[in-house]
Amino acid sequence: MSTESARRWRLVLGRYAENNLPRGAGDGELDEALGYLYDREYTARGHRTAKGGGGSLDPSAIKTLNWLRRARTLFPTSTLERLQADAVTRYGLDDLLADPATVESLAPNQQLATALLRMKGRLSPAAAQGLRTLIAKVVADIVERLKPRFTTALTGSRDRFRRTPHASSANFDWKRTIAANLGNVDPATGRMLVEQVRFAARKRRSNLHWDVIVLVDQSGSMAASLLHAAVSASILAGLPGISVRLILFDTSLVDLSYLAHDPVEVLLTAQLGGGTNIAQAMQHAETLVSQPTRTVVALISDFEEGGSVSALVSSVRRLASSGATLLGLAAMSDEGDPWYDVATASRLVAAGMPVAAMTPDRFAEWLAEVMA
C-alpha cells in the first residue's frame, strides 16, 4: 500500500486504526474533524470513545458549531457539503440548523435540502426554522436559474425581425445568417465563411390560455423531484394566461393550488413517505379538466404504482382520448439520475402519455412545445 493510500485509509477508519495505520504528520486537525462526526458510527456499535483524543464525544469535546467552522477551513466545498448532510441527516446534529448565523452561512445545497425534507418532522422547533431558511435559499437559487427559461419558452414566439442574446439551435435563423454573410463567399470554392450568426428572438404571445394540472408523487423517493416540481409550479403560476392546479398525492390527495405561488410553503407542507396510488390522482385530474384541448396534465412520479395499474392506464387512456395533453416526468434521484418503474411507464406511453426523465429547464421547453 502506498503512503498516500495508507494516509487516506487512516482518515477513513479513524482513531481505531491507529495501531496499524498511524496518523500522518499534519493530519491532526483533519482526523479530529472527521472523528467528531464519524466516531458516532463506532459508539453506535458499542465502542467506547477514549477521553482526551481527537473527536471525543464527551461534554468537553468541541461543539458542533465550532466543528463546522473548523471544517470549512479544512475541506473543499464538495466534502464539506457531504459532511453537513451527514451531520444533520445521519447523526442528528440539530445545532447546525438551530443556529441562525450558521444557516445563513450555508451555501444553497439541494442535496442537503432534499435530505432534510425527508426528516423535517423529527426536527426541533429551532431547527425547523433553520430548515425553512435553508429551503428558502435553495428555492431562490433554483428560481433564479429556471425562471428565465420558463418565461422565454412559455410566453414568447419566435420573432425573426429582432436579434436575441439567447443563442440556441431552436432559435437559429439560417436565412438571416446566410444574408449577413453573403460577402464572405470564396469565389474559388463557393464556400461561405460565417462570421455573423443570427438567432430569432422571442415576442410575447397574447393568446395563451392553458390549464396546467401538476400531479406530484410525494412518496419517500420523490424529495428531489418534489423540490423542482414545487419551483416549476410557482413559476408557471406567475405566467400570464396559465392557470395552475398543484396536487400532491401518496395514497391520499392534497390540493395545494392555493400555495402554488409559494414553493417554500409547499415543500414544508408536503409529507414525504408512505404508499402510492397514482390511479387515484389521475382519476381526480379527470374531474378537474373542463377544456381538454387547452389542458396539460403533468404527472411527476417514480411510477411505482401501489394501487391498480389497470385503473391507472384506463384513466390515462380516457384523458388522452378527450384531447387533453399528458406528460409523464420520471423521478430523478438526488444525484440527477432517472429512478422509475420502466414497466408501468411503458404502459402509460402506450395509453397516450409520453414519459421522459429530464431536468426542469428541459421540462419548460417540453411544455412550450405541446402548448405552441
Question: What per-residue confidence (pLDDT) applies to 341?
Answer: 93
Among 137, 139, 99, 96, smallest CA distance to 119 is for 96
Residue type, 16: Y
Please check whether residues 175 and 60 belong to one and the same domain. no
Do residues 143 and 234 lie in contact, with contact meaning Cβ atoms separated by under 8 Å?
A: yes
Look at residue 123 and tell me if it is in a domain: no
Task: Look at the alpha carbons of 85, 275, 287, 363 in this order and tell me if their dihedral is positive or negative.
Answer: positive
Please check whether residues 314 and 352 belong to one and the same domain. yes
Please check whether residues 85 and 191 belong to one and the same domain. no
Please check whether residues 247 and 349 belong to one and the same domain. yes
Please check whether residues 222 and 198 belong to one and the same domain. no
Question: What per-residue confidence (pLDDT) applies to 48?
Answer: 56
Question: What per-residue confidence (pLDDT) applies to 52?
Answer: 39
Q: Which residue has the cell 429551532?
A: 126
Task: Look at the alpha carbons of 78, 79, 82, 84 in this order and tell me if their dihedral is positive or negative.
Answer: negative
Look at residue 143 and tell me if it is in a domain: no
- Beta pairing class for 355-356 and 325-330: parallel
Look at residue 322 and tell me if it is in a domain: yes
Question: What per-residue confidence (pLDDT) applies to 179?
Answer: 75
DSSP 186-208: -TTT--B------B-EEEE-S--
Rounded Cα distance between 360 and 146, Å, is 7
> The C-alpha cell of 345 is what?
411507464
Question: What per-residue confidence (pLDDT) applies to 213?
Answer: 98
Phi (first) and psi of residue 132, to 5 degrees:
-60, -45
Domain span at residue 12?
3-106
Look at residue 140 and tell me if it is in a domain: no
Q: What's the chain's length in residues?
A: 372
DSSP 46-103: TPPPPTTSTT--STTSPPHHHHHHHHHHHS-HHHHHHHHHHHHHTT--THHHH-HHHH
Question: What per-residue confidence (pLDDT) applies to 159?
Answer: 42
Which domain CATH number covers 228? 3.40.50.410
Question: What per-residue confidence (pLDDT) applies to 311?
Answer: 97
| 3-class SS string, 247-304 | EEECCCEEECHHHCCCHHHHHHHCCCCCCCCHHHHHHHHHHHCCCHHHEEEEEEECCC
> The C-alpha cell of 223 is what?
424529495
Please check whether residues 177 and 258 belong to one and the same domain. no
Question: What per-residue confidence (pLDDT) applies to 182?
Answer: 73
Look at residue 142 and tell me if it is in a domain: no
Please check whether residues 277 and 196 belong to one and the same domain. no
> The C-alpha cell of 304 is what?
411505482
Look at residue 347 and tell me if it is in a domain: yes
Look at residue 124 and tell me if it is in a domain: no
| Mean pLDDT per 10-residue segment, the chain (372 residues) | 74 68 75 82 62 38 66 81 78 78 82 79 84 93 92 66 46 70 74 66 59 92 88 94 95 95 94 88 97 96 95 98 96 77 95 92 89 82
Query: In angstroms, what CA-CA distances link 134 with 116, 229, 248, 301, 333?
Result: 10, 18, 22, 25, 20
Q: Which residues contact 176 (CB under 8 A, 6 or more apart)?
A: 160, 198
Look at residue 149 and tell me if it is in a domain: no
Please check whether residues 219 and 322 belong to one and the same domain. yes
Please check whether residues 223 and 344 belong to one and the same domain. yes
Q: 77 burial class (0-12, 13-18, 19+ CB within 10 angstroms)?
A: exposed
> What's the structural domain count of the chain?
3
Please check whether residues 222 and 173 belong to one and the same domain. no
Show which of 62, 83, 106 is a domain's final residue. Answer: 106
Please check whether residues 96 and 220 belong to one and the same domain. no
Do residues 62 and 88 lie in contact, with contact meaning Cβ atoms separated by under 8 Å?
A: no
Show which of 106, 135, 166 is a domain's final residue. Answer: 106
Q: Enter the DSSP assignment of 332.
A: B
Q: Enter the DSSP assignment of 329.
A: E
Please check whether residues 80 and 169 belong to one and the same domain. no
